[in-house]
């Protein structure tokens, strides 16, 4: 039923997990941080390509908008690239110069090593590993990142992330994912449901002010229209899985982006609509924006300790 194949993608490669019966598949680019570039799922014998991924190797090399990127060891912004941890100040490289922030970690463009493949009746999976040697500025902590991607017969796409502290000291960790979802037209015509009722108030540089604001617009499915979003949310539920939903009335397609919540899970969410309004980013995160400084959702791993949690996508 399932097969795992390798295809060239310019100087990169694609690893595809394919359901031979339904023709569903996901594609992963291991040389670019295990980037999830395509998710194609089936509903009522029709296939839907739901990710706005990179069409060419040149596009992924330019990595506009961090499409499909893995956000480790921190998602979103770190103010001025600076943070204090265990009594010391650290300076990360500034890769968001218009705001003077560090953003989205550094695993998104690293090369992952394929460690394992598994094919079963109801799913197939691939496991990748990246061992970080503490060599980059501002994060002198040794870690091991293990990403396991699944394509299943029942729940579509799933990613399980494990980050292990392989250093001799405790370390700060955050994690996230940055997929963009598309439908039949511009996002203005889509409907959105968010599993949260408060947004993170931010200043002019997109750093949290410490306030939260009530936001009920999308507690139930509601049309996006001309709404502008580059907004952080704290998930209302604390434990179990919750879903952000995107519904396309044109095709009667409901995309569910789910994330585990609870201790050391994906308790935060960022939603972003780019200027083109052709797609919408739904970003599960373990911590709040600027989490290395405000400590909201920050995971602190002791030596040999691991964080492990999952998110995924299905359609109805």
The answer to whether residue 63 scores a pLDDT higher than 90 is: no
Note the pLDDT of residue 184: 84
Note the pLDDT of residue 300: 98
Note the pLDDT of residue 245: 98
The answer to whether residue 237 scores a pLDDT higher than 90 is: no
Predicted confidence (pLDDT) per residue in 150-197, tens digit: 999 988 999 999 999 999 999 999 999 999 999 888 999 999 999 999
Binned at pLDDT 50, 70 and 90, residue 252 comes out as very high
Q: What percent of the chain has pLDDT over 70?
A: 100
Domain ranges of the chain: 2-315
Mean pLDDT of 59-68: 88
**Structural contact between residues 116 and 146, judged by C-beta atoms closer than 8 angstroms:** no
Predicted confidence (pLDDT) per residue in 281-292, tens digit: 999 999 999 999
Q: How far apart are CA 296 and CA 30, in angstroms?
A: 30
Predicted confidence (pLDDT) per residue in 8-25, tens digit: 999 999 999 999 999 999
Q: How far apart are CA 302 and CA 307, in angstroms?
A: 10
Tokens of 121: 């009746």
Rg (CA), the chain: 19
Note the pLDDT of residue 236: 84
**Structural contact between residues 161 and 146, judged by C-beta atoms closer than 8 angstroms:** yes
CATH top-level class of 2-315: mainly beta
The answer to whether residue 117 scores a pLDDT higher than 90 is: yes
Nearest to 257 by CA among 243, 274, 277: 243
**Structural contact between residues 43 and 315, judged by C-beta atoms closer than 8 angstroms:** yes
Buried-exposed string 146-174: b where 16+ CB fall within 10 A, e elsewhere: bbbbbbbbeebbbbbbbbbbbbeeebbbb
Mean pLDDT of 201-223: 96
Maximum distance among all alpha carbons in the chain?
Answer: 57
Q: How far apart are CA 175 and CA 158, in angstroms?
A: 15
The answer to whether residue 54 scores a pLDDT higher than 90 is: yes
Q: How far apart are CA 169 and CA 16, in angstroms?
A: 37
Note the pLDDT of residue 217: 95
DSSP classification of residue 293 = H
Query: With the C-alpha atoms ordered 205, 84, 310, 35, is the resulting torsion angle positive or negative?
Result: positive
The answer to whether residue 31 scores a pLDDT higher than 90 is: yes
Contacts of 189 (CB under 8 A, 6+ apart): 183, 223, 224, 248, 249, 250
The answer to whether residue 257 scores a pLDDT higher than 90 is: yes
Q: How far apart are CA 95 and CA 74, in angstroms?
A: 13
Tracing tokens 């990613």 back to the chain, one arrives at 159
Predicted confidence (pLDDT) per residue in 70-94, tens digit: 999 999 999 999 999 999 999 999 9
Mean pLDDT of the chain: 96
Mean pLDDT of 143-153: 98
The answer to whether residue 64 scores a pLDDT higher than 90 is: no
Q: How far apart are CA 226 and CA 229, in angstroms?
A: 10
Note the pLDDT of residue 61: 83
CA 104 to chain CA centroid, nearest Å: 10
Tracing tokens 């560090």 back to the chain, one arrives at 102
């Amino acid at each position: 039923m399932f097969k795992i194949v390798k295809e060239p993608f310019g100087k990169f490669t694609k690893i595809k997990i394919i359901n031979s019966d339904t023709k569903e598949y996901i594609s992963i680019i291991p040389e670019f941080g295990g980037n999830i570039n395509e998710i194609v799922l089936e509903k009522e014998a029709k296939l839907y390509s739901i990710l706005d991924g990179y069409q060419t190797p040149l596009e992924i090399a330019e990595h506009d908008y961090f499409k499909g990127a893995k956000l480790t060891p921190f998602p979103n912004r770190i103010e001025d690239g600076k943070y204090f941890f265990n009594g010391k100040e650290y300076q990360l490289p500034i890769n968001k110069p218009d705001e003077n922030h560090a953003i989205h970690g550094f695993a998104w463009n690293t090369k992952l090593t394929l460690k394992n493949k598994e094919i079963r009746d109801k799913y197939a999976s691939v496991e990748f590993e990246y061992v970080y040697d503490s060599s980059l500025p501002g994060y002198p902590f040794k870690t091991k990142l293990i990403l396991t991607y699944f394509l299943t017969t029942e729940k579509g796409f799933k990613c399980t992330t494990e980050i292990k502290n392989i250093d001799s000291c405790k370390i700060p960790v955050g994690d996230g994912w940055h997929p963009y979802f598309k439908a039949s037209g511009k996002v203005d015509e889509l409907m959105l449901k968010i599993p949260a009722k408060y947004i993170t108030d931010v200043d002019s540089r997109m750093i949290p002010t410490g306030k939260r604001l009530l936001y009920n617009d999308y507690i139930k499915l509601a049309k996006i229209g001309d709404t502008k979003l580059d907004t952080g949310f704290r998930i209302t539920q604390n434990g179990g899985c919750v879903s952000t939903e995107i519904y396309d009335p044109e095709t009667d397609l409901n995309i569910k982006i789910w994330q585990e919540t609870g201790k050391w899970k994906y308790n935060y969410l960022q939603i972003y609509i780019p200027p083109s309004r052709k797609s919408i980013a739904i970003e599960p995160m373990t911590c709040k924006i600027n989490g290395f400084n405000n400590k909201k959702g920050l995971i602190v791993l002791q030596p040999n300790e691991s964080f492990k949690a999952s998110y995924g996508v299905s359609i109805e």
